[in-house]
Amino acid sequence: MNLAPKRILIVNDDGIDSPGIVLLEKIARQFSSDVWVVAPDEERSGASQSISISQPIRYVQRDERHFAVRGTPADCALLGINIFLGERRPDILLSGVNAGPNLAEDVLYSGTCAAAKEGALLGIPSVALSQMRSYAEPAKWETSEAHLPAVLDRLFAMDWRPGVFVNVNVPNVDADRIAGVRITTQGQRPPGGFIPVRREDERRVPYFWIKIMSLQPELVEGTDLHAVAEGAISVTPMQIDITCGALRSNLEQVFSLNSYRSRVAAG
């Protein structure tokens, strides 16, 4: 797809100097010459969709199209779309490439996914991109470099609905070992993935680190967890509306007008 006239905004949560965002800018320039980077000045992983409303957001403009922001990934999306790019908003927002997975409940904590969600809220087609890795094995960035251009080419060509974004996860295998692309649903790991661990400093003042637990999920076919476990790139469509339709009918029965009035009268 020829995106030469299109404007692309790149954000992330790993910081403006991270290898993933450098790679993503390189990939984006295969599609367009109008590429902008607005990213945190330091790592802001786990920031989710928080925005800075209790303090000023400061930034450094490194050159015409690169901005390092003292803020969250959602701040970066807001500033890029509404301020730094001027009167012409971006046609596409790309967030990443994150160093590590954003699968299952990771999506709830992820600054990478949150920046894409912020873009979707503002009416911009948005894609979150992650290169998996582990503590024992560094990220195979060359795999993302080899496969993400083709993935993005197809995503750019589709018709986007309002209020949606796409979450892409690349397995940490060699590029020639990728087992295709699968369209997936969000998986689920067992609860207890984050544990507060108490420590004391040299003055015996307590503090906490959040320990990330390695829990083995049930690999349900069709989910993002199952796809990457089998070496496939996971592409998950996600939406802003998180209403639980299945529970709504139950709630309507519980709070039915006659039932509610009778309970209030009895109480």
What's the mean per-residue pLDDT of the chain?
94
Residue 204 domain-assigned (yes or no) = no
Q: What is the pLDDT of residue 217?
A: 85
Q: What is the pLDDT of residue 89?
A: 96
Q: What is the pLDDT of residue 24?
A: 99
Q: What is the pLDDT of residue 62?
A: 98
Residue 208 domain-assigned (yes or no) = no
* pTM of the full structure: 0.92
Q: Is the pLDDT of residue 130 over 70?
A: yes
Confidence class for position 260, pLDDT limits 50, 70, 90: low
- What CATH number is given to the structural domain containing 85? 3.40.1210.10
Residue 112 domain-assigned (yes or no) = yes
> In sequence order, which residues have a C-beta less than 8 Å from that of residue 12 and are 6 or more positions away?
18, 20, 21, 24, 39, 40, 73, 95, 96, 97, 98, 111, 112, 115
Q: What is the pLDDT of residue 257?
A: 64
42: domain range?
7-190+218-266
Residue 203 domain-assigned (yes or no) = no
Q: Any idea which of 3-17, 63-77, 93-107, 163-177 has the lowest mean pLDDT? A: 3-17
Confidence class for position 145, pLDDT limits 50, 70, 90: very high
Tens digits of residue pLDDT in 181-219: 999 999 999 888 889 999 999 999 999 999 988 778 889
Average pLDDT estimate for 242-259: 84
Residue 49 domain-assigned (yes or no) = yes
Q: What is the pLDDT of residue 253?
A: 84
Using an 8 Å Cβ cutoff, are 106 and 80 in contact? no
Domain count, the chain: 1
Residue 66 domain-assigned (yes or no) = yes
Residue 26 domain-assigned (yes or no) = yes
- CA-to-CA dists, residue 202 to 182, 205, 207, angstroms: 50, 7, 11
Q: What is the pLDDT of residue 3?
A: 56
Residue 229 domain-assigned (yes or no) = yes
Q: What is the pLDDT of residue 32?
A: 96
